């Protein structure tokens, strides 16, 4: 274990710096999203990313798993921001999360070593993707194809931690989604939204399970 709070604080500072860098790269590569978000949104996403980085550093310490979950936090916050604002989960970012996460988890499995965890992660990603795909086809109004695609990297990360994490993370995503929908309806009583963003709920559930379940 790394002694004292210095390590989580250093990692939290890294999150504070990486968040605006990620937003700048996203606005550069995906101009169709409308450019950088407003200042208050940038401050919020930087603060949330920094907090998550610090908590993940406290949870995983200086382990080989940490970079993979920091990557999940960094991209997960950006995907949540975009989904809240535009009801959109860009394919390029979802694929980046899947590919980058797989690369980092493979490195962790090779160095830890933890090959059974990696194989479980691959199976879990496929299972959660298939489950979301079925739900999306049955009820297309409640889940979009972006949510279905995001289920693959979310399931992969949860599966690397364990089967219980996959179960609780998958269920918690729908619970959080319901809570967020109720909150949005209350905040927008004058113009009730026709759809709610489910991507943020999936990210919250995955990171929440990663932080509290060993």
pLDDT tens per residue across span 124-175: 999 999 999 999 999 877 788 999 999 999 999 999 999 999 999 999 999 9
- Which pair of tokens denotes residue 72? 């999940």
pLDDT(194) > 80: no
pLDDT(179) > 80: yes
Q: Hey, where are the domains in the chain?
A: 66-212
How much is the pTM?
Answer: 0.93
CA distances from 212 to 140, 141, 161 (A): 32, 32, 11
CA distances from 172 to 119, 166, 201, 202 (A): 23, 10, 8, 8
pLDDT tens per residue across span 59-85: 999 999 999 999 999 999 999 999 999
Q: How far apart are CA 54 and CA 75, in angstroms?
A: 16
Q: Nearest to residue 52, comparing CAs of 83, 21, 106, 16? A: 16
pLDDT(191) > 80: no
User: Looking at residue 190, what DSSP letter applies?
Assistant: S
pLDDT given for residue 213 in this prediction: 87
Secondary-structure percent of the chain, ordered helix, strand, coil, rounded to 5: 80, 0, 20
- Identify the burial level of 124 via C-beta atoms within 10 angstroms of its C-beta, where 0-12 means exposed, 13-18 middle and 19 or more buried: buried
CA distances from 135 to 62, 97, 147, 201 (A): 38, 22, 10, 16
- Within 8 A by CB and 6+ apart from 142, the residues are 135, 198
pLDDT tens per residue across span 20-44: 999 999 999 999 998 889 999 999 9
The most confident of 19-33, 171-185, 190-204, by mean pLDDT: 19-33
In Å, the largest CA–CA distance within the chain is 54
pLDDT tens per residue across span 80-138: 999 999 999 999 999 999 999 999 999 999 998 889 999 999 999 999 999 999 999 99
pLDDT given for residue 190 in this prediction: 46
Q: Name the helix (H) or strand (E) containing 27.
A: helix 6-29
């Amino acid at each position: 274990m790394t002694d004292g709070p210095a390590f989580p604080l250093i990692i939290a500072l890294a999150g504070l710096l990486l968040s605006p860098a990620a937003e700048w790269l996203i606005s550069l590569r995906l101009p169709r999203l409308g450019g950088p978000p407003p200042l208050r949104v940038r401050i919020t996403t930087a603060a949330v990313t920094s907090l998550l980085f610090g908590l993940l550093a406290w949870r995983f310490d200086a382990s080989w798993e940490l970079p993979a979950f920091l990557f999940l936090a960094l991209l997960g916050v950006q995907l949540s921001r975009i989904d809240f604002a535009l009801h959109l989960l860009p394919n390029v970012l979802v694929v980046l999360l899947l590919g980058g996460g797989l690369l980092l988890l493979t490195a962790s499995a090779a160095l830890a070593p933890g090959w059974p965890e990696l194989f479980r992660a691959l199976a879990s990603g496929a299972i959660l993707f298939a489950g979301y795909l079925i739900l999306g086809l049955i009820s297309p109004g409640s889940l979009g194809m972006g949510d279905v695609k995001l289920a693959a990297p979310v399931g992969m990360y949860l599966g690397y931690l364990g089967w219980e994490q996959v179960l609780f993370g998958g269920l918690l995503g729908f619970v959080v989604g319901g809570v967020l929908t109720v909150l949005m309806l209350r905040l927008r009583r004058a113009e009730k939204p026709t759809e709610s963003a489910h991507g943020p709920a999936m990210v919250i559930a995955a990171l929440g399970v990663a932080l509290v379940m060993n």
